[in-house]
Structure 1
Amino acid sequence: MSRKLFGTDGVRGRANTYPMTAEMALRLGAAAGRYFRRDGGSAHRVVIGKDTRLSGYMLENALTAGLTSTGMNVLLLGPVPTPAVGFLTRSMRADLGVMISASHNPHHDNGIKFFGPDGFKLSDEAEAEIEAILEGEIAPAQPQNIGRAKRIEDGRGRYQEFVKTTFPAGLRLDGLKVVIDCANGAAYKAAPEVLWELGAEVIPVGVSPNGTNINDRCGSTHTQTAAEAVVAHGAHVGISLDGDADRVMILDQNGQVADGDQIMALLAARWAEEGRLNGGTLVATVMSNLGLERFLSARGLRLERTAVGDRYVVEAMRRGGFNLGGEQSGHIVMTDFATTGDGLIAGLQFLAEMARTEKPASELVRNFETVPQLLKNVRYGADKQPLSVDSVKARIAEAEARLNGLGRVLIRKSGTEPLIRVMAECEDEALLLQEVEGIVAAVEAAV
């Protein structure tokens, strides 16, 4: 059963435009409620969190209406990070968790992500079944069985207390000056408070959300803001989250950025030394740098690659019994602690290494030499299928032949935006640029 509405990370689009309308959110809530009430039992429960987008109010109310119409009792968490929804779904014994967020996208976008009762994101198969229910008549609950809605005032506090338990008990952050950029998003209260409670001197950035400034020139997709704060305040390290705080970038004391690959390399090596890296394996996507693979191989460790999307990383981790994975973009998944990527927990693990080793951040963020990598995006219309055009396929095959043995080519559709992502890696930067630009030109001609 294929999916049409769901992408790689839930349903996503421009607010007040299909599919991110109040009407669709209401029907989607009702379909999800009906899917999770198939056993006909009572006392079904769903938790709903959101980030700080203005459209979150609209979608939260519509989802609540749809869910309660099928008999689900709704617990409203307010603004909390995406990983908090995964944690609280399981902690509060809910049947379903919902996060309203478009992650790192601008404020005018929004999205709806679903979590199962185990706190993990729903599988492709479950999402396809919800779509099938959505396309038909959704049976409402009897009047006496309509659900209730209740606001949970301490959801963020529960999550913060849990997050602190993931930091080594014998360590503190005393003496560390930390810039934390919350992207004016979901962690704008939680992240600074956790760091302060663990002893850090906190310099908060991006903690004044107004509904439209989420990810606006701040956060993990615009690290310049945090970098400038690190240098200006003489901070020891910077932690830059995205709008829903499920991804992170680390900045050293000079403002230099370490992406998810470098963070995963540090943690994998450390965990392997301690005998904590299950199966001697790190799970990452096809986007991760070839340098990471070489770094792991030199230590007798293995890199298992998946399709792009942290959900696919998590699925591979669960299948193989692995406990560390993530994406170059900053999703770091540690299933010993969380069911999804958690930028704050990943940041704390990095800070724990700083406290344990007493090394500056600059020594911990450069774990391997990256192979030159170039990524370019080409936007296309919804009615176009550029990767099916013969001239595009021929140009991709030509690039693969030229890079054979020297690097690799990866061409894919974005799962969240109408973009073709053209990526290649190669030690020869001139050849790399030539081949990427050649494929981009072919795709542009096709669209």
Structure 2
Amino acid sequence: MGRYFGTDGFRGEANVGLTADHAYTVGRFLGWYYGELKRQKGDTSAPRVVIGKDTRRSSYMFEYSLVGGLVASGADAYLLHVTTTPSVAYVTRVDEFDCGVMITASHNPFYDNGIKLLNGNGEKMDEKTIGLVEDYIDGNLTAFGKKWDSIPFATKDSIGCTVDYVSGRNRYVGYLISLGLYSFKGMKVGLDCANGASWNIAKSVFDALGATTYVINDEPNGTNINNNAGSTHIEGLQKFVVEKGLDIGFAYDGDADRCLCVDEKGNVVNGDHILYVYGKYMKDKGELVNNTVVTTVMSNFGLYKAFDEAGIDYAKTAVGDKYVYEYMTENNCVIGGEQSGHIIFSKYATTGDGIMTSIKMMEVMLARKKKMSELCSPLTIYPQVLENIRVTDKTAAQNDPDVVAKVNAVADELGNTGRILVRESGTEPVVRVMVEAEDKETCRNYVESVIRVIKEKGFAAK
């Protein structure tokens, strides 16, 4: 974790943890840094940075602040306006921008916001460059072999300009439509846009592919993003699908880089279901490269049992789609993701893409001529209990011999009927204890037994 940027960008309450000054400073650095990289190679052209934002009230403030910093440092800023995170990644890569910026706090409430940085390949920015951004924010920047007490402003015709680039977003919509291998005609589809970035994209894609599309939470007002809506509040879509008699429903988060589904019976289809359904579909078609699906340590035990039965290998990474993508690129894997609905199809995208995930799930339904409930039926999701305990020292608590012994004992007792996972929070003084087993009571008893040892050893914070 960096000083400001976590695994998913610089995030905080607008004008409290993340201010307009922060955004301006980030813009100043990016405009100067990418210009300097060009100058080092003898290229005097202005760096090009593409920017998207979600529907939060504060997103305009951060957009204007970023643009001010970028053009003051000599970069040209291209504005996609309200759009999704994966669209920024797509445009950055395809149109060869120096970098991309998405202004969003994803599934967080409206009063939070964030800045996600993408490299020229549309991938999440590397840690070295993030570190330089943070150094500049702290006034302690060393780059290109020297220490910079300040970075120069652009002057005269070197000052950057702002370009309306809504055409880039429109081409991304066209790209999504092109991924539809089957007509959706005759399919009744529900979409929950979370009053977020997908509100003006998702329906147009499904309509173009022939679906009869029903949409909820597509009236953003700046303060209702994710408010009892979208993938974090999927109960609304569950009710909607059943009441309308729909074939399938898809729910997105605020920036639409994740997707959860609701089957025709109103059951939630989470990221683990999606990985199973599409992973098996790819294996059956002979397209599952390395016969491997990439998951995180938080994927359900039932998913791994279903993969074993289907003869599919799997990898487990740390929590975060960033780590999933890194593993996928290093090991040439084609599908991976998180239980929360970040699903990455590396042949088509460099990030999780909620709308793309929807299209891919429709593809399996239409190719197999099966309902979503039928496709998910071989996968049994095991009950799970997760408890957080605040501690004085996360590392010491996890590595204590008695705690380790208890965790190992629980793992031995569960055997192949469940699993235990103990991990520390990346942002809080908290240890998370999670158990999955065949019934909830067993989960709870094992979790409590581990927490009891942590407390007995004196690690619980008062």
Could you state the TM-score of these two structures normalised by the residue count of structure 1? 0.92
**Aligned-partner Cα distance in 2 for 1:418–1:183:** 31
The reply on whether 1:124 has 2:135 as its aligned counterpart is no
Q: Amino acid of the residue matched to residue 47 of structure 2?
A: H
Change (3 A) 1:439 1:360: same
**Where does residue 146 of structure 2 map in the other structure?**
none
The reply on whether 1:153 has 2:166 as its aligned counterpart is yes
**Where does residue 337 of structure 2 map in the other structure?**
326
Change (3 A) 1:188 1:386: farther
Q: How well do the aligned residues superpose, as a CA RMSD in angstroms?
A: 2.2
2:251 alignment partner, one of 240, 257, 264: 240
1:70 alignment partner, one of 73, 78, 81: 73
Query: Residue deviations 1:346-368, cap 9 Å, x none?
Result: 11111112222221221123341
Contact 1:409 1:423 in 2 (8 A): yes
- Shift of residue 397, structure 1, vs aligned partner: 2.7
**Where does residue 14 of structure 1 map in the other structure?**
13
**Where does residue 425 of structure 1 map in the other structure?**
436
Contact 2:398 2:404 in 1 (8 A): no
- Shift of residue 371, structure 1, vs aligned partner: 2.6
1:107 alignment partner, one of 97, 105, 110: 110
Larger Rg: 2
Contact 2:92 2:120 in 1 (8 A): yes
Change (3 A) 1:303 1:390: closer
For residue 116 of structure 2, give the secondary structure of its aligned residue in structure 1. Answer: strand
Query: Residue deviations 1:163-185, cap 9 Å, x none?
Result: 111221xx101111111001000
**Where does residue 400 of structure 1 map in the other structure?**
407
- Pick which of 315-324 and 402-411 moved more: 402-411
Percent of pairs identical after alignment? 39
What does 1:148-227 correspond to in 2, within 5 Å? Answer: 148-168=161-181, 171-227=182-238
- Shift of residue 5, structure 1, vs aligned partner: 1.3
**Where does residue 143 of structure 2 map in the other structure?**
none
**Where does residue 315 of structure 1 map in the other structure?**
326
Aligned residues: 439
Change (3 A) 1:110 1:257: same
Change (3 A) 1:392 1:207: farther
**Aligned-partner Cα distance in 1 for 2:90–2:365:** 26
**Where does residue 303 of structure 1 map in the other structure?**
314
Q: Amino acid of the residue matched to residue 102 of structure 2?
A: M
**Aligned-partner Cα distance in 2 for 1:394–1:103:** 39
Change (3 A) 1:377 1:223: farther
For residue 211 of structure 1, give the secondary structure of its aligned residue in structure 2. Answer: coil
- Shift of residue 128, structure 1, vs aligned partner: 1.8
Query: Residue deviations 1:221-266, cap 9 Å, x none?
Result: 1111101110111111110111110101110111100110110111
Q: Amino acid of the residue matched to residue 166 of structure 1?
A: L
For residue 78 of structure 1, give the secondary structure of its aligned residue in structure 2. Answer: strand
Change (3 A) 1:107 1:412: farther
Q: Amino acid of the residue matched to residue 162 of structure 1?
A: Y
Q: Amino acid of the residue matched to residue 84 of structure 1?
A: S
Change (3 A) 1:395 1:69: farther
- Shift of residue 25, structure 1, vs aligned partner: 1.1
For residue 404 of structure 2, give the secondary structure of its aligned residue in structure 1. Answer: helix
**Aligned-partner Cα distance in 1 for 2:220–2:11:** 21
- Shift of residue 3, structure 1, vs aligned partner: 2.3
**Where does residue 4 of structure 1 map in the other structure?**
3
For residue 423 of structure 1, give the secondary structure of its aligned residue in structure 2. Answer: strand
Change (3 A) 1:258 1:419: farther
- Pick which of 311-320 and 123-132 moved more: 123-132
Query: Residue deviations 1:163-218, cap 9 Å, x none?
Result: 111221xx101111111001000000100110011111111011000111111111
For residue 154 of structure 1, give the secondary structure of its aligned residue in structure 2. Answer: helix
- Shift of residue 386, structure 1, vs aligned partner: 4.5
- Shift of residue 138, structure 1, vs aligned partner: 4.1
**Aligned-partner Cα distance in 1 for 2:244–2:330:** 45
Contact 1:403 1:426 in 2 (8 A): no
**Aligned-partner Cα distance in 1 for 2:265–2:429:** 36
2:48 alignment partner, one of 45, 50, 61: 45
- Pick which of 435-444 and 274-283 moved more: 435-444
Q: Amino acid of the residue matched to residue 408 of structure 1?
A: R
Change (3 A) 1:94 1:218: same
**Aligned-partner Cα distance in 1 for 2:94–2:262:** 32
For residue 359 of structure 2, give the secondary structure of its aligned residue in structure 1. Answer: helix
The reply on whether 1:387 has 2:394 as its aligned counterpart is yes
Contact 1:239 1:248 in 2 (8 A): yes
Q: Amino acid of the residue matched to residue 355 of structure 2?
A: L
Query: Residue deviations 1:58-117, cap 9 Å, x none?
Result: 111111111222211100111111100000111221101000111111111111111111
**Where does residue 358 of structure 2 map in the other structure?**
347
Contact 1:53 1:214 in 2 (8 A): yes
- Pick which of 305-314 and 154-163 moved more: 154-163
- Shift of residue 38, structure 1, vs aligned partner: 2.9
Contact 1:86 1:119 in 2 (8 A): yes
Contact 1:389 1:446 in 2 (8 A): no
Q: Amino acid of the residue matched to residue 9 of structure 1?
A: D
- Shift of residue 119, structure 1, vs aligned partner: 0.9
For residue 291 of structure 1, give the secondary structure of its aligned residue in structure 2. Answer: helix
- Pick which of 328-337 and 36-45 moved more: 36-45
**Where does residue 34 of structure 2 map in the other structure?**
36
Query: Residue deviations 1:143-170, cap 9 Å, x none?
Result: 13221112223233211101111221xx
**Aligned-partner Cα distance in 1 for 2:357–2:28:** 35
2:377 alignment partner, one of 337, 348, 366: 366
Contact 1:310 1:331 in 2 (8 A): yes
- Pick which of 294-303 and 266-275 moved more: 294-303
Please, which runs of 5 or more residues in structure 2 have no aligned partner? Answer: 141-148
Contact 1:48 1:85 in 2 (8 A): yes
The reply on whether 1:286 has 2:289 as its aligned counterpart is no
Please, which runs of 5 or more residues in structure 1 have no aligned partner? Answer: none
Contact 1:180 1:238 in 2 (8 A): yes
